[in-house]
Structure 1
Amino acid sequence: MASSSSVANTVPLLSMPPEIRSAIYELVISNEWRHTSQEYFVLDRPLPALFRVNKQIRSEALDVFLLKNHFHVYTSTIGLKWLNILGKDVERFRCLILFIDLNLEAWNTYLKALLPRISEYLELRIRKAAVSLPASRLESFLVAAGLYDGQRWARTENGVGEIIFKQILA
Structure 2
Amino acid sequence: MALGPPTPNHTPLLSVPLEIRDAIYERVLEAEWGYSSQDFFVLDRPLPALFRISKQIRSEALDVFLLKNHFHIYTSSIGLKWLNILGRDVNRFRFLILFIDLNLEAWNKYLKALLPVVSQYLELRIRKAAASLPNARLDSFLQTAGLYDKNRWISEGKGTNEIIFKRIC
Over 2 Å off, 4+ runs: 9-12, 34-37, 102-105, 157-162
Deviating more after overlay: 94-103 vs 53-62: 94-103
Alignment partner of 1:131 is 2:131 = yes
Can you list the C-alpha shifts for 1:79-136, whole angstroms capped at 9, x where unaligned? 1111111111101111111111134421123203421111121111111112332233
Residue 35 of structure 1: CA displacement?
Answer: 4.3
Which is further off, 138-147 or 45-54?
138-147
CA distance in structure 2 between the partners assigned to 1:29 and 1:160 by the alignment: 35
2:23 and 2:65 mapped to 1: Cα distance? 11
TM value normalised by structure 2 = 0.88
Match of 2:53 in 1: 53
Question: What is the percent sequence identity of the aligned residues?
Answer: 73
Instruction: Please tell me the residue identity of whatever aligns with 1:90.
Output: V
Partner of 2:3: none
Measure, in 2, the Cα distance between the counterparts of 1:42 and 1:127. 14
Q: 1:141 to 1:57 in 2, by over 3 A?
A: same
Number of equivalent positions = 164
Q: CA RMSD in A?
A: 2.1
**Structure 1 stretch displaced more, 157-166 or 68-77:** 157-166
- Normalised by the length of structure 1, the TM-score is 0.87
Partner amino acid, structure 2, of 1:101? D
> Equivalents in 2 of 1:159, 1:39: separation in Å?
20
1:138 aligned partner, one-letter code: L
For residue 96 of structure 1, what is the amino acid of its counterpart?
L
Q: 1:102 maps to what in 2? A: 102
For residue 3 of structure 1, what is the aligned residue in structure 2?
none
Q: Which has the higher helix share?
A: 1
Moved more, 92-101 or 152-161: 152-161
- Cα separation, 2, equivalents of 1:19 and 1:70: 22
